[in-house]
Structure 1
Amino acid sequence: MSKNVAAKLRTGITPKQFIDGMTKNQDTFKGWYDAFTWQNAEDEEFYESLNNRDDLRCLIIAADWCGDVVRNIPVVFRLMEKAGIPTEVFIMEEHLDFMDQFLTRGGRSVPVVIIGDTGGYVLAQWGPRPAAVQAHMNAFKLENPDREASDYQEKIQIVRQKMIQEYGEGTGYQAVITAELRDLLAGV
C-alpha cells in the first residue's frame, strides 16, 4: 500500500520560515546553503527541467538540533528551488504522527525528504543522510541492537566520527545528495 500525505499538504512552514525560526545551528545551516554550487551542468539542467512539472511537492521532516539536517537540508532547499518544486518543512517534535509514518530502521531519524504528487501520494523518499554515510549507521545498529549496553555510547561516538569523515571536509558531499535525489526524481 502506498503512503498518502494529502492531509499534510499546505500545513507545513516554508524553507525561509524554517531558517528564520532556527534556535540552533542557524549560522552553520546558512553557511552550507550559501556554499552550495552545481558540480556539473547536467545536474543543474535536470533540476531546471522539473520546472515544467506542476505535479510534484516536497515535504521535509526536520529539526534544527540535528547535524544531518543542518548539513543536508540546505542542499535539498537549493535543489527544490532550482526545480520549482513547492517545499514545506515540518518540525519533527511538532509532527510526531507524521514522523512516525517515516521511521528509519524503526527510529525517528531526520531529515526525511518526501516527494509526493498534488494528491499527496508519496512517490519517493530520501534521508536521513547520503547512502554511504547512512551505511555506517546501519552497520552499527545491526551490530549494537541494545541501546542500554554499557559500551553503546562509546561505540556510537566512534560511528559518528566515521560518518563525519564520510561527509568529508568541504562541499563534495553536496554532489552526492544532488545525484541521489536526481535518481529518485528521475523515476517519478
Structure 2
Amino acid sequence: MDVLEKNRLEIVLENIAKGMEYAKYRELVGKLAKTGKTTGPEQSEALVNYTKLGDRRMARWEKTFKIPGDIEKKIKSLDRELVFLVLTESWCGDAAASLPVLNKIAEASPNISLKVVLRDENLDLMDAFLTNGARSIPKAVVVDKAKNEIVGEWGPRPSIATQMVEDCKREHGKLTDEFKQELQVWYNKNKGQNILEDILELLALE
C-alpha cells in the first residue's frame, strides 16, 4: 500500500468512526426540513427548499424500494464485513434518490453497515474521492473492515444516470432545467434498480 492510499484509508476509518447511522441522518434531515434549514454553511432559500424536497423523496423511496428475493439472498450470503461510508448533504437531489436504496442494501445483510458524513464538514475525505476533479455527492466508499482496505467507491449517480448526464453536457454544455426534470422521471421509473446493479457489481455479487 503506497503512502497516498494509506492516508486515504486513515481518513476513511476516522470518518467511519464519527459517521452517523442512517436513522440519525434521516432524523437530522427531517428536523432541518421542518425548521426551514439545511446542512452546510450556505443557508439559502433554494437549498432549504431542496432539503424539504429531499426529505419527502427519501420517505417515498424508503416505502417503495424493494430488493428482489433472489438478490436479497445473495446480499445476505455476503461473508465479508463491509462498511458503506456515504458523503452527502441534505439538499442533494441525487442523494435523496440513492441513500435510501444504499441503506436497504445494507439492511439486507448482517455484514454491511452504513455510515453517513456531511461533505462540507469533511472536505479532507471528499477531496480523497473526487469525481473528475469535482466534489460530487453522494459518494459511497466501500470498506472491508477485516482487511482494512477500500473495496471501491460508488457515486455520485447510478451508471445509467451518469451516462445521461455526460450526454446532456456534451450536447448542451451544462445540465438544462428540462434535463433535471427528465432525470427525476428516470429515477422514479428505474425504482433504484440501477443503483442495486451497480452495488452488486462492486461487491462482485452480480
The secondary structure found in structure 1 opposite 2:129 is: coil
Map residues 166-177 of structure 1 onto 2, 5 A cutoff: 166-169=186-189, 172-177=190-195
Q: Structure 1: which 5+ runs fail to align?
A: 146-151
Give how far 1:168 is off. 4.0
2:161 is the counterpart of 1:136: no
Moved over 6 A (4+): none
1:184 aligns with 202
Map residues 44-83 of structure 1 onto 2, 5 A cutoff: 44-50=72-78, 52-54=79-81, 56-83=82-109
Separation in 2, partners of 1:49, 1:66: 32
Give how far 1:120 is off. 4.3
1:132, 1:166 within 8 Å by CA — same for their partners in 2?
Answer: no
Give how far 1:121 is off. 2.1
Q: Cα 1:141–1:97, aligned 2, differ >3 Å: closer, same or farther?
A: farther
Separation in 1, partners of 2:134, 2:107: 29
Higher RCO structure, 1 or 2 (CA under 8 Å, sep 6+) = 1
Separation in 1, partners of 2:102, 2:63: 13
2:180 is the counterpart of 1:157: no
Identity %: 26
Q: What is the letter of the counterpart of residue 27 of structure 2? A: D
Separation in 2, partners of 1:140, 1:99: 25
Q: Structure 2: which 5+ runs fail to align?
A: 33-50
2:49 is the counterpart of 1:29: no
Report which of the two has the higher share of helix: 2
Size of the aligned set, in residue pairs, is: 174
State the Cα RMSD in Å.
2.1
2:20 aligned residue (13, 16, 20): 13
Give how far 1:59 is off. 0.3
| Worse-superposed segment, 158-167 or 90-99 | 158-167
Superposition TM-score, scaled by structure 1 size: 0.82
2:134 aligns with 107
Q: Cα 1:183–1:17, aligned 2, differ >3 Å: closer, same or farther?
A: same
1:42 aligns with 70
Separation in 1, partners of 2:84, 2:74: 17
1:96 aligns with 123
